[in-house]
């Protein structure tokens, strides 16, 4: 195939041109691109804050930035990465692009709401960046009261408004996914033929719609308390700061599952495709997603073991936190069982998927340490916690995201990325990540507290290792940015199904037409029938244009 073949056919990218055709688009595939560009921007802004922190931590003295500046750095790093990169990354980019395509729909149920959710996201992001530009905020991404609501002299209200506003974009995305998955499936696409990516996004959407409103009202109350001195969370005014923590973690713990569940969905697709096999125990993996979403709502108290919560509550929360490990382990075991005796190929997306399994397992197992009451008291607020959640959020969610971006890049752009560069980047990220964060487990266990910019000299070696790892990690993240942009123009033309995958999204040309499918597909098999020919799995119905 040559370039002119792509050019001649009308698809969603060349159907019309110009900035207006993008800013006013209601095509879910174009909105996915809007999100892709914006979350990439936020990822590198958040990464900049992290870089400054890691440079500061190379020496035990506070020689690069002052304590106040350091507080702002870790706060802005957390706020940007959590609310503006990790939470929207997979759902709003890959989910937006793929949910309708995987179920054989022409678009999400509410295309205009989908576009609105991007504008809301940008508005929230603008508030937060404004706060950063105006001098930043220093409460930590957790906004703990009463520091945030009374004492901090930084731009708390502006930041809180930014996060509040962005929450509505999550809610709208979740609402759109739930309705789309319920009502827009193609003929024959039954619930148990759905790709596991869809199950994962369905579970994520449940958290979006049940959790996000609670953080919205909580942050609203923090803002009101700061402006009007309401006294809801400030003990000196009769309020209860622990109540804030309850409300905050009621959302923010499930928010971790917002980050990891979609990544698990991506990994399920990758593992099946690159081991040319049906996913082992499909329905267990599917229900494990729902179980994680449901149990995830009942574990928030494990963030508050040392916050004065009743011991009995802590014991129950500890037990429930252990329960989350069961569905998570089911997934890990089923993925490895899928790999067993299969013909594995090690293309870049698969490297990310395998990296995900290893790092997520590390992150999950150390999570059990933190769920145990006794050990948590020892390592609470130390680098052990920092390392643990970075294994989940970066080792898990970001690996899943990058694996997914590489896997579906040919579908999104019609071009292949350069495979050998991509493998190098995936390996760099894996090595750099472990070098950055594994020493932090040790640091934390030895007692180095998080959120300090100076530390005793005996911690320096491990901190220098961590910073060295971070610079490798940075190279690993910049590489895909460069070669993916390069591939837009110079990448080889990919064809409809370069991976010979069985999912519905691969049965339409790359890039897909605006209506996704020229004819409505009729599904007769699940998404992982790798032992069959794709032509046996799908037939076509009436034309999409009536």
Partner 1 sequence: MSKVEVFRQHHFVDVDQQHDASWLGMWVFLTTEVMFFGGMFACYFVYRHWYLQAFASASNQLDVVLGGINTAVLICSSFTMALAVHSAETGRRKPLVVFLLLTIVLGLVFLGIKFYEYHTKFVEHLVPGSSFRFEESLARPAEIFFSFYFAMTGMHAVHMIIGVGLLTALSFRARQDRFSPIYHTPVELTGLYWHFVDIVWIFLFPLLYLLGRHL
By CB under 8 A, the residues from 132 to 161 that bind partner 1 are none
Residues 100-129 that bind partner 1 (CB under 8 A): 105-111
Does the footprint of partner 1 cover residue 237 (CB under 8 A)? yes
Please work out the total of residues on this chain that contact partner 1, with binding judged by CB under 8 A. 43
With contacts defined by CB under 8 A, name the span among 57-65, 167-175, 430-438, 502-510 that binds partner 1.
Answer: 167-175
Q: How far is the CB of 103 from partner 1 (least distance, A)?
A: 12
Per the CB < 8 A criterion, the answer to whether 334 and 267 are in contact is no
246 close to 253: Cβ distance less than 8 angstroms:
no
60, 69, 140, 240: which one contacts partner 1 (CB under 8 A)?
Answer: 240
Contacts with partner 1 in 191-220 (CB under 8 A)? Answer: 209-214, 216-218, 220
Query: Which one of 29-37, 68-76, 237-245, 257-265 is the stretch in contact with partner 1 (CB under 8 A)?
Result: 237-245
Q: Coil, helix or strand for 415?
A: strand
Q: How far is the CB of 30 from partner 1 (least distance, A)?
A: 14
- Give the residue among 414, 405, 507 at the shortest CA–CA distance from 189: 507
Nearer to partner 1, 219 or 397 (CB): 219
Whether cis (ω within 30° of 0) applies to the bond prior to 511 is yes
Report d(CA 436, CA 462) in Å as an integer: 9
Residue 408 C-beta: closest distance to partner 1, Å: 21
224 binds partner 1 per the rule CB under 8 A: yes
Q: Which of residues 174-193 bind partner 1 (CB under 8 A)?
A: 174-176, 178-180, 182-184
Q: Give the relative orientation of helices 241-274 and 399-413 as an angle to the nearest 10 degrees.
A: 50
Contacts of 140 (CB under 8 A, 6+ apart): 71, 74, 75, 78, 451
Torsion-angle region of 54 (φ positive above 0: left; ψ -120 to 50: alpha; else: beta): alpha
- Does position 374 interact with partner 1 (CB under 8 A)? The reply is no
Compare residues 5 and 217 and give the one whose CB is closer to partner 1: 217
Q: Give the pair of three-digit tokens for residue 419.
A: 């495979």
Q: Cβ 213 to partner 1, closest distance in Å?
A: 4
How many CB atoms lie under 10 A from the CB of residue 308? 10
| Type and span of the H or E element at 121 | helix 111-133
Min dist. Cβ of residue 165 to partner 1 (A): 14
Binds partner 1 by CB under 8 A, chosen from 123, 230, 325, 330: 230
Structure tokens at 145: 């009261």
Shortest Å distance, C-beta 119 to partner 1: 18
User: How many CB atoms are closer than 10 A to CB 381?
Assistant: 13
List the one residue from 76, 81, 86, 232 that touches partner 1 (CB under 8 A): 232
Nearer to partner 1, 214 or 362 (CB): 214
Residue 146, preceding bond cis, omega within 30 degrees?
Answer: yes
Euclidean distance between the first and the last CA atom of the chain, given in angstroms as a whole number: 31
**Taking CB under 8 A as the rule, does residue 307 contact partner 1?**
no
Residues 510-529 touching partner 1, rule: CB under 8 A, are 515, 520
Applying CB under 8 A, the span of 231-239, 298-306, 370-378, 383-391 interacting with partner 1 comes to 231-239
Using the rule CB under 8 A, which residue among 2, 8, 153, 238 binds partner 1? 238
* Cβ nearer to partner 1, comparing 18 with 238: 238
Of 45 and 203, nearer to partner 1 (C-beta) is 203
Cα dist. 2→32, 92, 219, 491 in Å? 26, 32, 54, 11
CB 432 within 8 A of CB 508: no
For partner 1, give the closer residue by CB, 211 or 476: 211
Shortest reach from residue 133's CB to partner 1, in Å: 30
Q: CA–CA separation, 273 vs 403, rounded Å?
A: 12
Please tell me whether residue 239 binds partner 1 under the rule CB under 8 A.
Answer: yes
Distance CA 346, CA 356 (A): 14
Does 17 interact with partner 1 (rule: CB under 8 A)? no
Could you please report the per-residue DSSP string of 66-94? -HHHHHHHHHHHHHIIIIIIIHHIIIIII
Contacting positions for partner 1 (CB under 8 A):
105-111, 171, 174-176, 178-180, 182-184, 209-214, 216-218, 220-221, 224, 228-232, 237-240, 243, 247, 515, 520, 546
């Amino acid at each position: 195939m040559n370039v002119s073949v792509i050019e001649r056919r009308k698809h969603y990218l060349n159907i019309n041109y110009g900035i207006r055709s993008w800013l006013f688009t209601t095509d879910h595939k174009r909105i996915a691109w809007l999100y892709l560009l914006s979350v990439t921007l936020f990822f590198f802004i958040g990464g900049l804050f992290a870089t400054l922190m890691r440079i500061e931590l190379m020496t035990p003295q506070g020689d690069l930035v002052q304590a106040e500046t350091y507080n702002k750095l870790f706060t802005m790093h957390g706020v940007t990465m959590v609310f503006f990169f990790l939470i929207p990354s997979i759902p709003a980019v890959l989910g937006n692009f793929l949910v309708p395509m995987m179920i054989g729909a022409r678009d999400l149920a509410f295309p205009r709401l989908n576009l609105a959710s991007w504008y809301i996201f940008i508005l929230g992001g603008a508030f937060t960046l404004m706060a950063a530009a105006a001098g930043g905020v220093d409460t930590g991404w957790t906004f703990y009261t009463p520091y945030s609501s009374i004492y901090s002299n930084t731009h708390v209200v502006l930041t809180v408004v930014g996060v509040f506003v962005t929450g509505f974009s999550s809610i709208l995305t979740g609402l759109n996914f739930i309705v789309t998955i319920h009502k827009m499936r193609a003929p024959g696409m039954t619930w148990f033929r759905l790709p596991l990516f869809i199950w994962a996004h369905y579970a994520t959407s449940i958290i979006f719609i049940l959790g996000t409103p609670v953080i919205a009202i909580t942050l609203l109350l923090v803002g009101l308390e700061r402006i009007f001195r309401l006294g809801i969370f400030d003990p000196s005014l009769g309020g209860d700061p622990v109540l804030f923590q309850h409300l905050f973690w009621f959302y923010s713990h499930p928010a971790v599952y917002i980050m990891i569940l979609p990544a698990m969905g991506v990994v399920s697709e990758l593992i099946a495709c690159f081991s040319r096999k049906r996913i082992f125990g499909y329905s267990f993996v599917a229900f494990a997603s729902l179980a994680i979403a449901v149990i995830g709502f009942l574990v928030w108290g494990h963030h508050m073991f040392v916050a004065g919560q009743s011991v009995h509550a802590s014991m129950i929360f500890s037990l429930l936190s252990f329960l989350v490990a069961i569905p998570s382990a089911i997934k890990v075991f089923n993925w490895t069982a899928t790999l067993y005796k299969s013909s594995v190929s090690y293309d870049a997306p698969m490297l990310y998927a395998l990296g995900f399994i290893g790092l997520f397992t590390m992150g999950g197992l150390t999570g059990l340490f933190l769920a145990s009451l006794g050990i948590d008291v020892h390592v609470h607020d130390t680098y052990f916690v920092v390392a643990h959640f970075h294994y989940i959020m970066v080792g898990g969610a970001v690996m899943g995201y990058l694996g997914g971006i590489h896997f579906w890049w040919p579908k999104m752009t019609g071009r292949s990325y350069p495979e050998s560069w991509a493998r190098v980047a995936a390996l760099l990220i894996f090595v750099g990540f472990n070098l950055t964060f594994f020493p932090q487990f040790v640091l934390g266990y030895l007692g180095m507290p998080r959120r300090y910019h100076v530390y005793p000299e005996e911690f320096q070696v491990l901190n220098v290792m961590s910073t060295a790892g971070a610079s490798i990690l940075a190279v690993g993240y910049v590489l895909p940015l460069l070669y993916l942009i390069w591939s837009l123009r110079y990448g080889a033309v990919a064809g409809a199904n370069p991976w010979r995958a069985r999912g519905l999204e691969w049965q339409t040309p790359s890039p897909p037409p605006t209506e996704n499918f020229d004819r409505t597909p009729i599904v007769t098999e699940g998404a992982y029938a790798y032992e069959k020919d794709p032509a046996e799995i799908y037939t076509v119905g009436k034309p999409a244009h009536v």
